[in-house]
Structure 1
Amino acid sequence: MTSDDNQPQLYRLSRRNVLAGLGTIGLASAGAGLGTSAFFSDEESFEDNTLTAGSLDLRVQYEASYDSDGAVQNLADSAMGTQDGTPASTFYNLDDVKPGDSGHVEFCFDIVDNPAYVWACADYSEAENGMSEPEMDVDQTPDEGELADSIEAELVYCDEDGEPIQNGEIVSGSLAEVLDAIRFGAALDGDGVPNVPGEQSPHDTPMTPQGEATYVTGACICLFWEIPYETVGNEIQTDSLSMNFEFHALQSRHNDGTTNPCLDGTTTVQYDNDWKGQTLGNPTDGSVTTDVAFGPDNVGIRFTFEDDGDGVDFLDTADYSSTNLPVVIDGDADGTHDFQLIWQPNAGFPDAPFGYQENNGGSYSATTALPAGFSAAKNGNEIVFTVPRTEISSTFRLLAYGSTGGEGPIAEVNTDPALGPDFYNSSNAVSFSE
Structure 2
Amino acid sequence: KPGDSGEGEFCFSIVDNPAYMWMCGELTANAENGQSEPEMDDDDTPDVGELADAMQVTVSYCTDDGEGGNEIGDEIVSGSLAEVMLALRAGVPLSGDGDANASLADRPTFDGVTEPFTDGEPNVDEQCVCFTWEVPTSVENEIQTDSVAFDFEFYAVQARHNDGTHNPCVEFDTVLTTDSGPGVDRDGDGQGDAEGSWITARVSSGPTTVVQVELDGDVYGGGNSGLGEWPNNPNSYVVEANFDVDTDGLGESPNDDFRLGYGGANAGARVGGVANSTSGASGAGGYIRRNIGTGGNNNRTDTASEDVPGFVAVESGDQLTYTFVIDWTSALPSLSSVPTQFVVKEVYAGDGGEGVGTPNSSNDGRAAIDTVTDASGVINV
Q: Does the CA contact (< 8 Å) of 1:262 and 1:293 recur in 2? A: no
Give the superposition deviation at 1:122.
Answer: 1.8
Structure 1 386/144 Cα, relative in aligned 2: closer, same or farther at 3 Å?
farther
Structure 1 324/190 Cα, relative in aligned 2: closer, same or farther at 3 Å?
closer
What is the letter of the counterpart of residue 327 of structure 2? V
Residue 290 (1) aligns with residue 194 (2): no
Alignment match, 2:225 = none
1:152 to 52, 56, 73: 56
Higher strand proportion, which one? 1
* Deviation per residue, 1:143-181 (Å, 9 max, x gap): 654333322222233457973235354333433443344
* Deviation per residue, 1:188-222 (Å, 9 max, x gap): 2345454443232324122253799xx97413322
What is the letter of the counterpart of residue 211 of structure 2? I
Alignment of 1:38-117 (within 5 A): 98-112=1-15, 114-117=17-20
Distance 1:367 1:128 in 2: 32
Residue 164 (1) aligns with residue 70 (2): yes
Distance 2:339 2:117 in 1: 46
Residue 245 (1) aligns with residue 245 (2): no
* 2:52 counterpart SS class: helix
Structure 1 374/169 Cα, relative in aligned 2: closer, same or farther at 3 Å?
closer
Give the superposition deviation at 1:387.
Answer: 2.6
Distance 1:116 1:383 in 2: 23
Give the superposition deviation at 1:118.
Answer: 1.7
Distance 2:73 2:13 in 1: 23
Distance 2:111 2:349 in 1: 43
Structure 1 190/342 Cα, relative in aligned 2: closer, same or farther at 3 Å?
closer
* 2:166 counterpart SS class: coil
1:399 to 345, 356, 367: 345
Alignment match, 2:327 = 387
* 1:124 counterpart SS class: strand
Q: Does the CA contact (< 8 Å) of 2:51 and 2:143 recur in 1? A: yes
1:120 to 4, 9, 23: 23
2:169 to 242, 262, 269: 262
Alignment match, 2:266 = none
Alignment match, 1:328 = 244
Distance 1:169 1:120 in 2: 13
What is the letter of the counterpart of residue 246 of structure 1? E
Give the superposition deviation at 1:120.
Answer: 1.0
Superposition RMSD in Å: 5.5
What is the letter of the counterpart of residue 201 of structure 2? T
Alignment of 1:323-362 (within 5 A): 326-329=242-245, 340-343=257-260, 354=288
* 2:85 counterpart SS class: helix
Alignment match, 1:201 = 109
Residue 234 (1) aligns with residue 141 (2): yes
Structure 1 414/152 Cα, relative in aligned 2: closer, same or farther at 3 Å?
same
* Deviation per residue, 1:14-68 (Å, 9 max, x gap): xxxxxxxxxxxxxxxxxxxxxxxxxxxxxxxxxxxxxxxxxxxxxxxxxxxxxxx
Structure 1 431/342 Cα, relative in aligned 2: closer, same or farther at 3 Å?
same
Give the superposition deviation at 1:247.
Answer: 1.6
Alignment match, 2:80 = 174
Distance 2:211 2:243 in 1: 10
Alignment match, 1:299 = 209
Q: Does the CA contact (< 8 Å) of 1:100 and 1:228 recur in 2? A: yes
**TM-score for the superposition, normalised by structure 2:** 0.54
* Deviation per residue, 1:315-371 (Å, 9 max, x gap): 66xxxxxx986413579xxx99999544566889xx98647799xxxxxxx99999x
Q: Does the CA contact (< 8 Å) of 1:329 and 1:399 recur in 2? A: no
* 1:148 counterpart SS class: helix
**TM-score for the superposition, normalised by structure 1:** 0.48
Count of residue correspondences = 290
* 2:117 counterpart SS class: coil
The structure whose RCO (Cα within 8 Å, separation 6+) is larger is 2
Distance 2:20 2:115 in 1: 17
Q: Does the CA contact (< 8 Å) of 1:189 and 1:203 recur in 2? A: no
* Deviation per residue, 1:66-114 (Å, 9 max, x gap): xxxxxxxxxxxxxxxxxxxxxxxxxxxxxxxx21222333323234552
Q: Does the CA contact (< 8 Å) of 1:327 and 1:399 recur in 2? A: yes
Structure 1 173/389 Cα, relative in aligned 2: closer, same or farther at 3 Å?
closer
Give the superposition deviation at 1:384.
Answer: 2.4
Q: Does the CA contact (< 8 Å) of 1:299 and 1:389 recur in 2? A: no
Q: Does the CA contact (< 8 Å) of 1:374 and 1:386 recur in 2? A: no
Distance 1:310 1:192 in 2: 28
